[in-house]
Amino acid sequence: MSQLPVLPLLPLLFGAVIAVLAALWRSIAGQITAIVSTALSLIAALVGLVTVVGDGAISYDMGGWPPPVGIEYVLDPLSAFLATIVALIGLLIVIYPVDAAFDLRPARGTPLYPLVLLLLTGLMGVMLSGDLFHLFVFLEIYAISTYGLVSLGGDKGTFAALRYLLLGTVGSGLYLLGVGFLYFATGTLNMVDMAESLPAIADSPTVLGAMALMVTGLGLKMALFPLHVWLPDAHSFSPPGVAALLAAVQVKAGAYALIRILFDVFGPAYTDGGGLPVTTALIYFGLAGIVVGSWLAIRQVDIKRMLAYSTVAQLGYIGLGIGLATPRALIGALLHVLSHALMKSGLFLVAGGIIQRTGIKAIPRFSGLGKVMPWTMGGFAVAALSMVGIPPTAGFFSKFYLVWGAIDVGNWFVAVVVVASSMLTMIYFLRLFERIFVVAPREDAIADASEPSGRVVATVLVLATAILLVGVFNGLLVSQLLDPIATRMLG
């Protein structure tokens, strides 16, 4: 099917428009529209993933105009893998009860789910675009919808959205300026055409400057340390469902674009020690993010803020895997994109269920939650153990491949830091485990609480099960999908 590359995108785009009209009729109609749209997108992404793994990449020329004049959508194993993650997490979050996910009961006409679908549309477009400027357009689509969703967190959420808007605009501007430099140097915006032109001008100051600008801009979009300053407030002050979307898939769009542009557009002429030391910088910024993010997470008493700083650390692992630039390290980074999406969305959605039932956000007040919410807290435990890196969870294997990738290049320092960082992660989750599963309930709000609604429990358990399945079957996932991707890019 030549149209397959755009099929995961279309249900989300049209769904956003339909959800606006549906919400004018009844508020629940907006959520139903979002569920149907994301389900169709997930089906299309899964079909696309199976197709390209078996038959190779597929491209689609929008409007019948071929590149470099027209806009090209590309579905290959990497984009299909990320598109499936976006659609899966999006579906689980729109299924989640609206009052637990977004801290509100939207009135008729409230454009809550249109904003969610617009966010997912932008993310999906980033994954599927084969054109650097078109990728920028989708970066802006998801960013604008994110600003509106973060502002649902009240006055603090509005301030966090404003800070994100200012810094996000800087990141977008840097990326777009870099794209402009590349266009002047090559005369094309299509990624494939540009990749063919760049090796001949590898020493050009214009191209090197473009590379620096684009990597910095995407690093800000990805919230890679020390460009993460917008993330803690945006995640901790936004509603739990919004924080889950941001942590699980939104920041991964920057990571995907960084991988695609570094290894498919610039290629080895720029990343194998030539030009700028971008990969070396990614290694050390990734390591710093892992250590600083974990340390700051230990210091937090608010559950959502702890998870926000934990995200800074987890993004450090992904940046590290990109910077090591070996097939095994890239496998680790891509596997961590998936495992972190499952882990962090589950943890934020559990936080939403706790807040809905008890109104409590402070970790010291979580005593006894395991006794009154055993199923929900069981799912929480699986996600937390995966964050630490306990086998057979998904988080263990993504860190394993990162360590293996570091050893491949003889960088034992990186390997030691990755292993030691798991101890830091264990510290802040052991504190939670003690409160939740060991200490008896000490507050009426907890003693009188019960399991959240069936949809909350089911969503959390689906994510916990997925974490275990990805861990148990990681060998199949790596051999059939991730290893061919990494080998093509770096082999």
pLDDT single digits (tens) 358-372: 777 888 887 778 788
Question: Phi and psi for 74 in degrees, rounded to 5?
Answer: -125, 130
Q: What is the mean pLDDT of residues 35-44?
A: 95
- Residue 84: what pLDDT? 95
Q: Cα separation of 491 and 223, whole Å? A: 28
Cis peptide bond N-terminal to 68, omega within 30: yes
What pLDDT digit, counting tens, does each position of 44-88 carry? Answer: 999 999 999 988 888 888 777 777 777 889 999 999 999 999 999
Q: Average pLDDT over the chain, rounded to whole?
A: 87
Tokens found for residue 238: 């936004």
What contacts 201, CB < 8 A, 6 or more positions away? 185, 186, 207
Q: What is the pLDDT of residue 182?
A: 92
Q: 91 is written with which tokens? A: 């579906």
Instruction: Reduce the secondary structure of the chain to three states and give it as a string.
Output: CCCHHHCCCHHHHHHHHHHHHHHHHCHHHHHHHHHHHHHHHHHHHHHHHHHHHHHCCEEEEHHHCCCCCCCEEEECHHHHHHHHHHHHHHHHHHHCCHHHHHCCCCCCCCCHHHHHHHHHHHHHHHHHECEHHHHHHHHHHHHHHHHHHHHHHHHHHHHHHHHHHHHHHHHHHHHHHHHHHHHHHHCCCEHHHHHHHHHHHCCCHHHHHHHHHHHHHHHHHHCCCCCCCCHHHHHHHCCHHHHHHHHHHHHHHHHHHHHHHHHHHHCHHHHCCCCCCHHHHHHHHHHHHHHHHHHHHHCCCEHHHHHHHHHHHHHHHHHHHHHHCCHHHHHHHHHHHHHHHHHHHHHHHHHHHHHHHHCCCEHHHCCCHHHHCHHHHHHHHHHHHHHHCCCCCHHHHHHHHHHHHHHHCCCHHHHHHHHHHHHHHHHHHHHHHHHHHHCCCCCHHHHCCCCCCHHHHHHHHHHHHHHHHHHHCHHHHHHHHHHHHHHHHHC
pLDDT digits (tens, 9 = 90+) for 149-196: 898 888 888 898 999 999 989 999 999 999 999 998 888 888 888 888
Closest by Cα among 239, 16, 4 to 123: 16
Q: Which residue has the higher pLDDT, 31 or 448?
A: 31
What does the pLDDT read at residue 273? 60
Nearest to 471 by CA among 362, 389, 359, 366: 389
Rounded-to-integer distance, Cα 301 and Cα 206, Å: 47
Average confidence (pLDDT) over 326-334 = 92
Please determine, for residue 335, whether its predicted confidence score (pLDDT) is greater than 90.
Answer: yes
The answer to whether the beta carbons of residues 312 and 226 sit under 8 Å apart is no
User: What is the pLDDT, as a whole number, of residue 70?
Assistant: 78
Q: pLDDT for 190-221, tens place per residue? A: 888 888 888 888 788 888 888 999 999 999 99
- For position 123, what pLDDT does the model report? 94
Adjacent-strand bridge partners of 302:
362
- Residue 342: per-residue pLDDT: 94
pLDDT above 80 for 294: yes
- As a whole number of angstroms, the distance between CA 101 and CA 93 comes to 7
CA-nearest of 146, 34, 137, 9 to 90 is 34
Predicted pLDDT at 109: 55
* Cβ neighbourhood burial of 441 (10 Å; 0-12, 13-18, 19+): middle
pTM of the model: 0.92
Taking only the tens place, the pLDDT of each residue in 340-390 is 999 999 898 888 888 877 777 888 887 778 788 889 889 999 999 999 989
- Residue 406 CB neighbours (<10 A): 26
Q: Does the pLDDT at position 298 exceed 70?
A: yes
Return the pLDDT at 121. Answer: 95
